[in-house]
Amino acid sequence: MDSFMSRAVELAIENVRNGGQPFGAVLVKDGDIVSEGVNELHKKHDVSGHAEMLAIRRAQEKFQTNDLSGYTMYASGEPCPMCFAAMYFAGIKEVYYCAAVEEAAAAGLTTSGMIYGDLKKPKAERTLSMIHMPLDEGQENPMKLWKERP
């Protein structure tokens, strides 16, 4: 196994032994680990405290950038849709993972698979109700403001 993936799995094992979930992540640039993370939901009561999210946050803070293009993520488990989206927004183009969503589901961790399935459905059929509320007439439009900025 690749040394970066071995480290991600080692972090996941350590996290389980410390009362957390079996997820660890390592963010790499130019052959060096720049940040790591483990799921910290059990410590911080923050549903966004996933291993990949924390590795991304730490790297962005460390380097004062939102652009992580050229970085590679190694994750002990297949990233959930939230982590996938964060990596996408950060410009990460390559992710290696060990345990697939199906393996996580078999271990009793079913949320990712359910969300991936829900995203395939038309908006009206999704579990999370999404209701469009247009701006009131004459109300300032933040999207228009953004588009017109200097």
Residue 131 lies in a domain: no
The pTM is what? 0.89
Residue 35 lies in a domain: yes
Look at the chain and report how many structural domains it folds into.
1
Residue 136 lies in a domain: no
Residue 49 lies in a domain: yes
The domain in which residue 61 lies consists of 3-99
Residue 79 lies in a domain: yes
Query: What pLDDT sits at residue 41?
Result: 87
Residue 133 lies in a domain: no
Residue 90 lies in a domain: yes
Q: What is the block-wise mean pLDDT of the chain (150 residues), using blocks of 10 residues?
A: 94 96 97 97 90 98 98 96 96 96 86 85 90 93 93
Q: What CATH number corresponds to the domain at position 36? A: 3.40.140.10
Could you list the active site residues?
52
Query: What pLDDT sits at residue 85?
Result: 96
Kindly list the distances between the CA atom of residue 120 and the CA atoms of 113, 123, 124, in Å, as whole numbers in the listed order. 11, 9, 11
Query: What pLDDT sits at residue 109?
Result: 85
Q: Which residues contact 33 (CB under 8 A, 6 or more apart)?
A: 4, 7, 26, 27
Residue 64 lies in a domain: yes
